[in-house]
């Protein structure tokens, strides 16, 4: 580890914890329509149960101690046009000297702890699979990273941050893994740094633009066959359901994140409801415990930039919803691996993944959802091992670092 990186320990002040408990004690719950279930949002009973547990039973200090078992650091990253940002990250090295450097990037409403279950799997040593040096940053404005202080921080800026972090660690060539907004940042990162620095990448939420007659004529013509194609109908049904029933958060965060931010920054129960809905809806029957949920929400509540900051990423990526998430990007030749998980709510026709990049690896899983690294870490790690291991399509793609002792 270079002298530039400072070891980091999570240490939430006692006063912040006391303030949280006061706010939880003073909560005013809304009413609820009879037999509404999840149709209108998170059921009142769920939020009352989690609020009571957060106030009376959840032990942040215990969670904090466990988090601090991870090797955490901070460093300053200079971002062109935005000055220096202090970035928090986990850096877990393998005992295998020539392990494959892997950059793991979270999304929203995730954070750096999504990598925790992956670390012992990916860094393990075996003649049967490659080992990895894993770097998992908190994106700017998330977790314990500093947030941008002025507008215009978009996809290429997030990509610049994570790439410069890897270079500063001595990883001039590395591989990338991401889902959700981590996937979006991956598209920008491979457009800017693919092949030169990012030698290959893997996504567990493969989506991109809708094909048009001029951009992808064959895929566009395939789309026109939907009324006669049962497979396409089924794939579009999932996408349509999410677009009509699950995208409200996107529009609000991409257009008026500041307005939303007042509620999230002031009300821990409001923050809990806003994120818990996604934790519940986006998984594949994952049995969340109260401690897991509240540790997850507490990372947002106690975050360095505050609970309002992460949502601004949607505005920055879309310029206030003026364009899609991928403005200024195109297909790249950087080798791409794709993992399909059945509980992922953002699912488009599989053939469309070829619009993202040079697909060299695909896997179809029978379990797992949006938070694949947290729900099914062994399956996600298995994808990376198969893709980058001996016999895989990109074995040895990082010169001198094949992952084997």
**In angstroms, rounded to a whole number, what is the distance separating the alpha carbons of residues 197 and 313?**
24
Give one DSSP letter per residue of 51-72, joined into a string: HHHHHHT--HHHHHHHHTTS-E
**Sheet arrangement for strand 132-137:** 6-7, 72-79, 83-92, 132-137, 100-105, 174-178, 198-203, 332-340, 357-364
Question: Could you identify the residue written with the tokens 């995730």?
Answer: 110
Distance, C-alpha 130 to centroid of its chain? 23
Rg of the Cα trace of the chain? 21
Supply the residues annotated as catalytic. 180, 314, 370
Q: How many CB atoms lie within 10 A of CB 170?
A: 10
What tokens appear for 393 in the block?
């399509």
Q: Give the burial class of 245: count Cβ atoms within 10 A of its Cβ; 0-12 exposed, 13-18 middle, 19 or more buried.
A: exposed
3-class DSSP assignment, residue 384:
helix
The total number of residues written for the chain in this structure: 405
**In angstroms, rounded to a whole number, what is the distance separating the alpha carbons of residues 373 and 115?**
6
CA 66, 168, 98 angle in degrees (round to 5)? 75
């Amino acid at each position: 580890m270079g002298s530039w990186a400072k070891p980091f320990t999570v240490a939430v002040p006692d006063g912040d914890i006391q303030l949280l408990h006061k706010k939880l004690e003073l909560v005013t719950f809304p009413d609820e329509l009879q037999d509404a279930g999840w149709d209108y949002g998170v059921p009142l009973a769920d939020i009352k149960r989690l609020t009571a547990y957060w106030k009376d039973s959840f032990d942040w200090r215990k969670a904090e101690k466990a988090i601090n078992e991870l090797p955490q650091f901070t460093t300053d990253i200079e971002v062109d046009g935005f000055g220096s940002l202090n970035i928090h990250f986990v850096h877990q090295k393998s005992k295998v000297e020539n392990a494959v450097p892997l950059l793991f990037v979270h999304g929203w409403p995730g954070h750096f702890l999504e990598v925790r279950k992956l670390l012992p799997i990916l860094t393990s040593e075996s003649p049967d699979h490659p080992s990895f040096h894993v770097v998992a940053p908190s994106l700017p404005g998330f977790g314990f990273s500093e947030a941008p202080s002025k507008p215009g921080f978009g996809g290429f800026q997030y990509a610049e941050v994570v790439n410069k972090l890897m270079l500063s660690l001595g990883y001039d060539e590395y591989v990338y893994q991401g889902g959700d907004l981590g996937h979006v940042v991956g598209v920008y990162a491979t457009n800017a740094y693919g092949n030169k620095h990012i030698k290959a990448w893997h996504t567990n939420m493969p989506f991109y633009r809708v094909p048009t007659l001029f951009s992808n004529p064959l895929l566009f013509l395939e789309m026109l066959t939907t009324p006669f194609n049962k497979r396409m109908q089924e794939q579009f049904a999932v996408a349509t359901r999410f677009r009509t029933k699950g995208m409200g958060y996107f529009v609000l965060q991409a257009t008026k994140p500041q307005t939303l931010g007042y509620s999230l920054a002031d009300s821990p129960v409001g923050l809990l409801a806003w994120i818990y809905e996604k934790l519940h809806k986006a998984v594949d029957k994952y049995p969340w415990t109260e401690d897991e949920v509240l540790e997850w929400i507490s990372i947002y509540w106690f975050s360095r930039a505050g609970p309002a900051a992460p949502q601004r990423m949607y505005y920055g990526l879309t310029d206030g919803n003026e364009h899609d998430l991928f403005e200024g990007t195109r297909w790249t030749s950087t080798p791409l691996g794709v993992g399909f998980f059945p509980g992922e709510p953002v699912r488009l026709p599989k053939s469309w993944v070829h619009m993202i990049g040079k697909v060299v690896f695909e896997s179809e899983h029978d379990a797992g959802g949006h938070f694949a690294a947290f729900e099914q870490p062994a399956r996600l790690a298995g994808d990376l091992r198969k893709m980058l291991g001996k016999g895989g399509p990109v074995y040895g793609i990082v010169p001198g670092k094949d992952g084997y002792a």
